[in-house]
Amino acid sequence: MESWDYEIFWKESVNQIRNSISKEEFTMWFNNISYSSSSENTIVLSVPSNFFMDQIKQRYISLITETMEELSGNRIAVTFTVKKNDTEKKEKSSREKKGQQANVIEKQIPEKHPDLREDYSFENFVIGENNSFAANAALAISNNPGKAYNPFLIYGGVGLGKTHLLQAIGHAIYDKSEAKKKVVFVTAENFTNEFVNSLQKNKPHVFKNKYRSVDLLLIDDIHFFQNKEGLQEELFHTFNALYGSKKQMVFTCDRPVSELRNITDRMKSRFEMGLNVELNPPNFETRFAILKNKVESLGIKISDDILELIAQNITSNVRDIESALIKLVAYAELVNRKITKEIAQQQLIDVFTTSRQSNVSIDIIQKKVAEYFNLSHIDLRGRKRTKAVAFPRQVAMYITRELTEYSTTEIGSDFGGRDHTTVMHAIQKIEGSLKSDPTMEPVINNIVRLIKEQSSKG
């Protein structure tokens, strides 16, 4: 009899994964996974708790499976076992009561759409004033695909729920349809890669057939299509085919369509044809409600004052809020301690300060840029057009767009009441220099560092 041993593939996969995710993520998740055993086409990994198991599955299962497949040439199923801590006399958490026992090999539920994250559903989406328009439009579309608003486009800054809502529409339509509808979710990046591969393999029709025959097309992060002419041409035809046959399309983008660069006008006008809705950062009540909801769905107990602490300190976006919570829970599970307010404060100090850094004010940016170029703050934000001021001002505008969520219109008004086209021009100019002039990047990086230092002081 053969004995199966995939440990070597696991070890090598870990080495590769180490280079593809951030150090912090790696330490938090992969340092807590160890090899347990192998059987035919299956590897069992051991993790410290059900919480870890759930999180790792959600975040990394496809990365792990794909890396292992690449290395071994085999599709190896990855399953988990929870290694019980001997000294631990912890009462069973409600998660375990929900039936996720240790050592149970989790089976794939066939009904679920393979490309959609299970937890990105409408049920798990908390509605607040920042997102109610987008969420309600998304619901309307799910009830009436291809009819209400086509295409539907959700835009807004990072971590505000664009991908979540996009996939929620996918779930709703997929789950509702009896004869399963052809629901395709793809990131703009993968869409592009697939297209390029199909050309390289001389099989463009495979790509065309796939995308022109879907019932629902969800494309995430379409700003990625900027500067990609050939791709836009293809997308244009896909769009027209689907639109003509009344198939729903939903897109997300990190900015309003009008601010996309190097996207053809005809493509822009198609993106703007249906309904475009913005997602804004949540206010305190919504942040708190999101945390409450998350804690409940994870089946963990954390007191409200700790959730309040997180909701007060992290204002930037939902992703940061969630990662603070997850960090806290992971810590508590590992050291097997109850989370107190003191522990929360201690554990989250880094998160709180970096999150504050992302809320840099325009005022700090203007002061730091002026200081760096030895100009007066007043001149920088004023209307003088001399060369000595013009360039630093462009730098400041560029950095503002990079570090804050302000729109070009808002930035313009904070720089001497300028028009948003002036701001866009400034940003393009700096982007151009970043490409052509190698001394530019260190300058920008230095200024950004000064700004972040200043912002984290208070």
The one of ligand ADP, Mg ion, none whose footprint includes residue 208, by CB under 5 to 8 A per kind, is none
Using CB under 6 A, which residues numbered 149 to 188 contact ligand ADP? 158-164
The answer to whether residue 167 forms part of the interface with Mg ion (CB under 5 A) is no
- Tell me how many degrees the CA angle 60-62-68 measures, rounded to the nearest 5: 100
Closest approach, Cβ 325 to ligand ADP, in A, equals 10
Distance between CA atoms of residues 221 and 228, nearest Å: 14
The answer to whether residue 163 forms part of the interface with Mg ion (CB under 5 A) is yes
Q: b/e map of 146-170 (b: 16 or more CB within 10 Å)?
A: bebbbbbbbbbbebbbbbbbbbbbb
Q: Which of 9, 4, 61, 66 is nearest to 37 (CA)?
A: 4
* Burial bucket for residue 231 (CB in 10 Å: 0-12, 13-18, 19+): middle
Using CB under 6 A, which residues numbered 307 to 326 contact ligand ADP? 318-319, 322
The answer to whether residue 317 forms part of the interface with Mg ion (CB under 5 A) is no
Closest approach, Cβ 89 to ligand ADP, in A, equals 33
Could you tell me which residues come within 8 angstroms of residue 293 by beta carbon, excluding any fewer than 6 positions away? 124, 126
Closest approach, Cβ 159 to Mg ion, in A, equals 8
Phi first, then psi, for residue 154 (nearest 5°) are -110, 125
Closest approach, Cβ 126 to Mg ion, in A, equals 17
- Give helix then strand counts, H and E, for the chain: 20, 8
The answer to whether residue 412 forms part of the interface with ligand ADP (CB under 6 A) is no
The answer to whether residue 232 forms part of the interface with Mg ion (CB under 5 A) is no
| Per-residue x/- track, 115-154, Mg ion (CB under 5 A) | ----------------------------------------
Closest approach, Cβ 66 to ligand ADP, in A, equals 20
| Per-residue x/- track, 270-309, ligand ADP (CB under 6 A) | --------------------x-------------------
* Cβ distance to Mg ion smaller for residue 48 or 156: 156
Could you tell me which residues come within 8 angstroms of residue 184 by beta carbon, excluding any fewer than 6 positions away? 115, 210, 211, 214, 216, 217, 218
Q: Is the peptide bond before 281 cis (omega within 30 degrees of 0)?
A: no
Q: Which residues contact ligand ADP (rule: CB under 6 A)? A: 120, 124-126, 131, 158-164, 290, 318-319, 322
